[in-house]
A and B are shown apart, each in its own frame.
Chain A
């Protein structure tokens, strides 16, 4: 699992989206992350410190390649803006819904 910074994560996501266009899919996961990087200690030992602020862990998986990034509270707006842009540009294979202009047709007839 490759841990990247926020902008590199989005760049790699775009490459993944291009590769996956023809015949496969990719998955993105969001989860709350408390910053602990050690396993939970035994009861008699000192417990891990309680985090002051939580972060968000974003992971992406394509075939067998995995990337991840950590989003801190301050970076959330920037990251979400970049992610929204990514979604709009790459996730465009969805159906376009045509507005049924039946009222206009009925008015004309």
Chain B
């Protein structure tokens, strides 16, 4: 799948994908406790970028990017 190794690259790619097409983009996170990871995916129905977060410090980064994206989504234009 289209996994990105670097957190910064994923953040930038997700942000760009959303800015290019806000109406068609969706951001998904899947938590699997037994395997201990969170799978993040940002797609615009044409392309997608994914990131697999396995460490605790990544959780804060995920919170930040989620707040950022939700702020963009629920805004005036």
In this complex, the interface size class of chain B, counting residues with CB under 8 Å from chain A, is 20 to 34
If over half of B's interface residues share one DSSP class (helix, strand or loop), that class is named, otherwise mixed; here it is: mixed
Q: Is B4 on the interface with A (CB-CB < 8 A)?
A: no
* Residues of A25-56 contacting chain B, CB below 8 A: 25-34, 52-56
In the complex, the number of residue pairs spanning A and B with C-beta atoms less than 8 Å apart equals 108
For A55, what are the chain B residues with a Cβ–Cβ distance below 8 Å? 73-74
Count chain A residues whose beta carbon lies closer than 8 angstroms to a beta carbon of B: 39
- A-B pairs with beta carbons under 8 Å apart, 5 shown: A17-B31, A31-B25, A55-B73, A76-B71, A94-B55
Name A87's contact: one of B26, B63, B75 (CB within 8 Å).
B63
Q: Evaluate contact between B66 and A80: CB separation under 8 angstroms.
A: yes
Q: Is B9 on the interface with A (CB-CB < 8 A)?
A: no
